[in-house]
Chain A
Amino acid sequence: MKKATVVSAAVVLASSVMLSACGTSNTATEGGTSSTAPAATAAPAKVEPITLNLRHTQVKDTQKKRLAMLQDVVKATEANVPGLTITLDGVEDQVNRFEKLRAEMAAGNPPEIFDLFGGTDTKDYVKADRLLDLTPILEELGLKDKFYSFEEFTVDGKIYGIPMAGYVEGLFYNKKILADNQIDPPKTWDELLAASDKLKAKGITPFAMAAKDAWVINMMMNTMWVRTAGADSVAGFLNGSKKWTDPAVVDGFSKFETLIKKGYFQEGSLALAYAEQQNKFSAGGAAFMFDGSWANTPLIDPEKSKVASDVGFINFPTVGGAGDGLINGGWSNGYGFSKRMDEKQLAAAKEFIKQMYNETMQKRQLLEEGMLPAMKLQDTSGVQPIIAEIIKVSSEAKGTFPAFDASIQTKVRESLERGMQELIGGRTTPDKLTAELQKQQDASNKEDGQK
């Protein structure tokens, strides 16, 4: 009896060693990058499977190249960590940010690696103790000083997320339409109005605008109230030193209303989803479009765009306010990691960081996708002209300010989103809208104070 057990145990052991040896050599040949042969080690340990789930947001047709880059990183990571399988799970950006990931964080079961936004999102999840502190890993890999800024992912001096790319938001314009109508890219608010007026008179839509997704409207609105009221306005709303109803803030909203009342926006905008403003612009149907630098990809893709070679980018015109010359920008989107990982998963995640965040990848995403680098690059040659233009605009800006939704409370954001749609629908006025916002701001500030 005893003998039989010993024999069978030996058989099991032997076969498992043999199997694992097979497994290791297999991954080595497949991966090609790992140079150490498994036979070199005295007793090859059995390779235990490690799995990591990775939530990304590269699901749209316009993000194919980004997905390909991610897949390459995943492949390289898997090759370097024996037994590792990374399962990719793609979810649409907004759905992931505001619904799926939020619900998973609530339930405590987020994927091990996930697309994460800095600011309020990161703070909330840190408060709930769901995020892995990445500071030691970044130090160990020597990455900490290679990035422009971890500011939006930093809570109490610890870093909880690594930005993939930076962004700026500004005004894309159609060079051909402007030239055909003898219009120079507008530098001031009055020039912008004059240009829009001239275009509108000729039957050309001045602004491509899709307002069904309310956050799209607020990109431009954010810049406009910062223009009139200054970059510290959002911080002021939060600590009570400034109010939405301050004349300088209301002025920004009134300027926006002017654009609505004069009919400068794309028709039926309230029924159009985000992509449709890019469709309108890239079909040559509008002269201007306020959007983020990330939007350049579909605009200069000759397969999708009729205006591929005519796209220009400028900072939003000055209005004679405290925030003239500033640009909305930052490094707020990247990857976060779950606190609930075992030793092996952690090691694998570290390898992922190594493969994902390096000069080669950053350069590649800059060249292929026009994503502004998050890491300081030595060499930025060979970029698309529009990217060069965007980089130039952002370096010439007087300074950057973060998007308001990185710090403002969710309820205030929701209130602003609904209010802006009402403004476009002609249901409210800048005065009523800002009064409503201030009411919500007071309530939300009070709630925060109670916590």
Chain B
Amino acid sequence: MGDQKRERASARLEKDLLGKMLLIRRFEEKAAQMYGLKKIGGFCHLYIGQEAAGVGAISAIDLARDYTVGAYRDHGYALACGMDPRGLMAELFGKATGSSKGKGGSMHFFDAGRHMFGGNGIVGAQIPVATGVALKCHYRKDGGLVLCWFGDGAIHQGSFHESLNMAKIWNLPIIYICENNQYGMGTDFRRVSSVTDFVVMGHSYGIPGKQVNGMDVMEVYREVKEAAARVRTESTPMFLEIKTYRYRGHSMSDPAKYRTPEELESYKKQDPLLIMKSRMEESGTLSQDQYEAMDAECKALCDDAVKFAEESPEPEPSALYEDVLA
């Protein structure tokens, strides 16, 4: 009986994680389409290919007391935190109903209530901020921890190194997650990093860590659960390098000519959604029909989000001057 219960819980979790990844995939595809139609402007960094990282990690923490602080490729984190696709699509459209009232844009999704603290457009600038949120948790002894996201590009910024040092000397409750999608914009990380195993960077500040396969959502989930438990029980910051891959260019304006079609194809074979779907099909927890129903639901949510964004009003001209100061 216990085993059955566990199995049911595990099947529910798998389905939940797959559903969240699927929603991100469909949302990003819709965002790309809307960008092509010029409904969305400026920078737009898609999360396609990296869904398992955001979903696995954020599903492994408790957003009632924990926090997530990320960089500009933030659509996936926002959806994984449970933000409404309507508000996010409206934000991309620059509408008054957007999550930041149309004044943030793609790189600046926030949800104070869900402890989603950005969304930051400067590479590495979120790392000290995330560390400060962890200082609050430490000072208030509220049991919370912070997931601090950044990429392989940000790891060479001073902000990263300064933050890790302070997090360790004060033993702050934070998990630093380097989401290594292997390209800092157009630059292969191996061309610009003195080490290729970023876990070394954590170790150099006395912070334990490991590499995680970011194409497997269950592995990410398990590793972040374990890291979170260590943060809470051992009072230490942690470091994870989640190895992942983005299918699209750095942003919508990047044709990604710096990598080969073969490399892209090889990663598409390890697609996080495909891996999860076939695993569930093999174990009998998901049928093709169920998957299709789930997919249809995600597509409908994204269509609805577009409709909502289209029909939403532009910000009032007076909004220009609001929210500058508290």
Tell whether A pairs with B: no
